[in-house]
Amino acid sequence: MGFKSFLSSVVHDAGHVFSFLGSAQGQSTISTVEGVATGVAAAVNPATGSQLQNVSSLINQGLREVVSVESAAAQAGTQSGTGAQKAAAVTAALAPNISAVLKSLGVAQPTSDQVQRVGQAVSTGIVGILNELPASTTAASTAAASTTPVAVATH
């Protein structure tokens, strides 16, 4: 890949990302995006709306974990060549939520293999998407000072 990926850029500016996600504006943006998709699904089929909310929460947690693990690896100087270890760390962090989502979908006793496969899919999917997005050409200080949030739909 000949450009700096979105994930690399996000890791570089992780502090700004976490600050935004933790801010009232960031939480409002996330809630708005999640609320629209869940509201539509719940109107059509209430059970599906609940399940979509559970999956949405898993994906959002996965996004936070991927950024966190990538940031920790970058700070330790081990960002390159540790994909399997980073995916395992993300999966381990997501495991309780994955198990809960599987149970909400009717899997009475999720196996460790099922949890592992879902965790790997979430991690790989999110990393793949973030790596295909180009890094922002806007300086981090300008983006942090912006009053217009940019929402990334995870649904």
Q: Mean pLDDT over all residues of the chain?
A: 74
Least confident span in 83-87, 108-112, 151-155: 151-155
Instruction: Give residue 53's pLDDT band: very low, low, confident or very high (50, 70, 90).
Output: confident
pTM: 0.61
How would residue 3 be classed by pLDDT, with cut points 50, 70 and 90?
very low
36: pLDDT strictly greater than 70: no
CA distance 40 to 65: 27
Domain regions of the chain by residue span: 6-145
pLDDT tops 60 at residue 139: no
Q: pLDDT above 90 covers what percent of the chain?
A: 26
Could you give the CA distance from residue 45 to residue 130 in angstroms, rounded to a whole number? 31
Give dist(CA 46, CA 12) in Å, integer.
40
DSSP-derived 3-state class of residue 59: helix
pLDDT digits (tens, 9 = 90+) for 56-100: 889 999 999 998 888 888 787 766 667 788 889 999 999 999 999
Buried b (16+ CB within 10 A) or exposed e, 6-35: bbbbbbbbbeebeebbeeeebeebbeebbe
Residue 24 — very low, low, confident or very high, per pLDDT cuts 50/70/90? confident
C-beta separation of 9 from 133 below 8 A: no
For residue 147, report the phi and psi dihedrals to the nearest 5 degrees.
-95, -5
Determine phi and psi for 5, rounding to 5 degrees. -75, 160
Tokens read off for 11: 């890791």
Crossing angle of helices 112-132 and 46-75, rounded to 10°: 70
What does residue 134 show for φ and ψ, rounded to 5 degrees? -70, 155
pLDDT digits (tens, 9 = 90+) for 117-131: 999 999 999 988 888
Q: Out of 13-27, 56-70, 109-123, which region has the weakest mean confidence (pLDDT)?
A: 13-27
Pairwise CA distance, residues 136 & 141, whole Å: 12
